[in-house]
Chain A
Amino acid sequence: MTAVAAARSGVVAGRGGRLLGHAGWALAVAAPLAFLGVFFALPVGTLVLRGFVADGALDLTGFTEVFSRPRTWRIIGLTLAQATVGTAISVLLGLPGAHLLYRREFRGRGVVRALVVVPFVLPTVVVGVAFRSVLSDSGPLGALGWDGTFAGVVAALVFFNYSVVVRTVGAFWVQLDRRAEDAAAALGAPPWRVFTSVTLPALTPAIASAASIVFLFCATAFGVVLVLGGTRYGTVETEIWVQTAQFLDLRAAAVLSVVQLVVVAGALLAAGRARDRRERALQMTAPERASRPPRLALRGPGRRAGDIAAVAVTGAVGVLLLALPLATVAVRSLRTPTGWGLDNYANLATTGGRNALSVTVWEATLTSLRVALDATVIAVVVGGLVALVVSRRPRARARRRAVRLLDAVFMLPLGVSAVTVGFGFLVALHRPLGLDLDLRSSPLLIPIAQAVVATPLVVRTVLPVLRAVDSRLHEAAAVLGASPARVLATVDWPVAARSLGLALGLAFAVSLGEFGATSFLARPERPTLPVVIFRLIGRPGAENLGMALAASVVLGLLTATVMSLAERLRHGSSVEI
């Protein structure tokens, strides 16, 4: 830019616009960062730091002490083993599921897709009871002897995370150009060779991405490990909870939090690499209209061995792993002291046996919906902004790195223990940043806590879609006279809006089911649905148990409904219906 050029009037207008643009981007970065800073980094940082400060001085002897305990190493080992095995099995079982639900068409596919997500958001205390009912010695699968064993924990982890693999891999699989497979087949490869030599390598980035997320969830699983692992299977997460909530040994908890952070950062790094490859791969496939997937072929001359295998595996998983525990909950919710009936559902309009609750379950449901709505709005705004910023590809290398870092930072909430966040809130949010404002007792804190957890999922849903927008589309709009703001509004937004439906649904479902952080912030006069379920199942009596299970069914149905609506939005009415 020469001095002569700068003197011209057009330049001044351009500079002004550019300044405005810079300010807009700065805001888009600053607002989410401020949100994450105040509601995540500050609380967690404050609590962890307390563990490392003794008498006003930094004290890192906690590391040597904690690491010298053999228990610590056993716990770290178990955490890694449980997460690795849980992830591997989730992926192995999830692949046929993804094939079936995303690459084949059959009646009722939409319903199955929505139902698969239900476990992901059910409260762990309910799942724990349901799972143990199935696995305990007197349960239908009692013969396996999995109750209170490593296998039982892994089975439950797979139960929770199966849908993550199915959805992540499935969504990618749909977009794969089928012609590569056709080419391989034409070159004489039998179906299984086509799968191993063409499909699988192409899917690898999506698989790696799903695996790292599942690994994250498995490594930080809490309730399910506590309930199903019995007393023997402590993990880093449960140990942090015990050390913080029971023993108030912040030093040990801080050391373990750092350990957890290292594990999580490793998983995120792997995830980031995998995603990069995946999104590059996505760009390579032609974004032509996706041709309709073929129908499931199980019989007749056109039957495919792959389909039969996929149906067999998915059917077994569906029945044994997903349906059995879910059905246990559903069936038991229909049992009354005198037989069978809808009494438990009728009771949802009451406050429970001997007034176990301060509100009716329906009131709690309404509270949950409202809180989830707030959380969803916050998560979608914050997550949307992050996705937008991270989807840009700045020219400068330093900025590109900064953008990647931003992406990783917003994933951290998935990998930090809820007890650390919950306790951190109470410690840090009294006059945060010197403001005369006690956020700790604010009713807003619950949706905020849920939004912190939901935001990474929003980012992961919207980002790939935004990244897949060809940068030349932006250029095409710009040369047609669209200012950067209007490019966003007319090119990115319409594309992102389609994924926003799914993001909304996920954020909403996750907020509905969130229990960990919420339980530390709950307000007795206005409990959420999972809190109410937790309380009901904590009281003896057929009525309370029945209501807890009926309320769980309601929560599950709500989730499934929200997800199936979201699923429709994603594809747009013209494609799916």
Chain B
Amino acid sequence: MAHDGSPVAPGAAPGASAHPTSATGRGLAVRDVVVHYRDDDGTVATAVDGLSLDVAPGEVVALLGPSGSGKSSLLRAIAGLEPVSAGTIAWDGADVAGTPVHRRGFGLMFQDGQLFAHRDVAGNVAYGLEMARVPVAERRARVGELLTLVGLDGFERRDVASLSGGERQRVALARSLAPRPRLLLLDEPLSALDRALRERLAGDVRAALTATGTTAVFVTHDHDEAFAVADRIAVMDLGRLLQVAAPAELWHRPASRRVAEFLGYEAFVGGSSRVGGLVGASSEALLALGPGSLRREADGPLVGTVRSTGFRRGVTELVVDVEGLGEVTVVEPSRADPAGVPGAGEAVRLGVDDDAVARVAG
């Protein structure tokens, strides 16, 4: 999938021509939105705190943030399921505040699918079409198309209770896409799945969204997933947006140390400090180092002590306590012969891979 960060031009996706509103309009505009959350005990918390965000027609934006950062609340507010305390949400320039959920034409896909247990697979996918009073023949054809799209050909009459987790989420995706929502909101749609499936499905979701040219907001706490799916990523924390950027820009130029930390960067080199061969970027900026930023070199400028070693899907991970930096993960291809891998407590010399070091804006 494209991680090049270039914003998707309207109409670029193959299916976009079917979405006149999203292709030509101005898309979603969230302005200074505040969402309060009332707990069962009556305490009120601020889930979204004056947030603004734009999503262009046909664009897929990922809302990335740790759990509790308010991203689901924002998504629900956009869908109309959560009241907005302040600010506006507009589609195509028109405020949707007075439009009830079912007239917004926004789709929403849940983490656990929320399939209707009393309907079979086709019944689930057809639901939105029934609500839109699409004629039966057309409905049947559309259901078939969508099931093909998500790879569930011939699943029409299956009982949803008999589906695997992955199949359920595919049905949920097909169901959300069937009525051609002007905007599709996906709330952690893959989080409940196992990793391998999640990675494959992320690609499939991206493909389905681009194939249909659907404008989408994709909520996730997993940055790999966000990178795989989105044209742009909005990083959210404590109810506010920290940064909105294309995946590559986000990765290489995190806007703050908090963003970088969330992306997995482990160590930071400040302003004028000098560690080994590493020089601080400028007086305001930080250099961020993460897994892959350092590699073992016999004459590398940095010196560290191995704290632990790990093995993961074809790579060896060494957690190394680097003098002046702290703990950084060093990743290298694993070898059949473990003899070459240093053990805990051994000293190693390390060099820097400049491309794998991010510059954090001040």
Which residues of A does B touch, CB under 8 Å?
1-2, 4-6, 8, 10-15, 17-18, 287-289, 395, 397, 470, 472-473, 475-484, 486-487, 490-491, 494-495
Contacts and interface: CB of A to CB of B under 8 A. Distances in A.
Interface stretch (B125-133, B261-269, B277-285, B323-331): B125-133
Interface stretch (B11-19, B109-117, B211-219): B109-117
Nearest to A286: B112
Nearest to A483: B102
Nearest to B162: A289
Contacts of B95: 2, 4-5, 8
A476 to B, nearest CB: 4
A15 B108 CA distance: 23
Contact of B117 (A287, A479, A481): A287
B10 interface: no
A480 B175 contact: yes
A10 B81 contact: no
Contacts of A6: 98
Given A2-B95, A8-B98, A476 B114 contact: yes
Given A475-B108, A480-B179, A14 B114 contact: no
Interface string B111-144: 0001011110000000110111000000000000
Nearest to A288: B161
A289 B103 contact: no
Contact of A481 (B38, B132, B161): B132
B66 interface: no
Contact of A10 (B103, B106, B114, B185): B103
B179 A14 contact: no
B315 interface: no
A481 B128 contact: yes
A11 B97 contact: yes
A475 B102 contact: no
A479 B38 contact: no
Closest 3 CB pairs of A and B: A11-B98, A480-B128, A481-B131
B94 A8 contact: yes
Contact of B96 (A10, A287, A397, A476): A10
Contacts of B38: 395
A177 B265 CA distance: 41
Nearest to A393: B40
Given A395-B38, A495-B118, A15 B98 contact: yes
B107 interface: yes
Interface string B48-90: 0000000000000000000000000000100111010000100
Contacts of B97: 1-2, 5, 11
A486 B102 CA distance: 10
B100 A18 contact: yes
Nearest to B90: A5
Most buried by B among A477, A479, A486: A479
B105 interface: yes
Given A480-B131, A495-B118, 17 more contacts: A1-B98, A2-B88, A6-B98, A14-B103, A475-B79, A475-B114, A478-B101, A478-B102, A479-B79, A479-B104, A479-B107, A479-B176, A479-B181, A482-B131, A483-B100, A490-B130, A494-B118
A289 B102 CA distance: 29
Interface string B175-217: 1100101000100000000000000000000000000000000
9 contacts: A2-B88, A5-B97, A8-B94, A8-B95, A12-B98, A14-B103, A288-B161, A395-B83, A494-B119
B82 to A, nearest CB: 10
Contacts of B104: 479
Contacts of A2: 88, 95, 97
B310 interface: no
B98 A473 contact: no
Contacts of B185: 479
B214 to A, nearest CB: 14
A420 B19 CA distance: 67
B114 A473 contact: yes
A518 to B, nearest CB: 38
Given A480-B128, A481-B179, A14 B99 contact: yes
Contact of B88 (A5, A477, A484): A5
B287 to A, nearest CB: 43
Most buried by A among B116, B132, B161, B181: B116
B170 to A, nearest CB: 15
Contact of A17 (B81, B100, B127): B100
Nearest to A6: B98
Contact of B102 (A12, A288, A482, A495): A482
B127 A479 contact: no
B112 to A, nearest CB: 8
Nearest to B181: A479
A473 B118 CA distance: 12
Contacts of A18: 100
A8 B181 CA distance: 21
A289 B161 contact: yes
Contacts of A5: 88, 95, 97-98
A480 B118 contact: no
A487 B128 CA distance: 11
A397 B98 contact: no
Contacts of B99: 10-11, 14
A491 B101 contact: no
Nearest to A491: B116
B102 A479 contact: yes
Nearest to B98: A11
Contacts of B88: 2, 5
B85 to A, nearest CB: 11
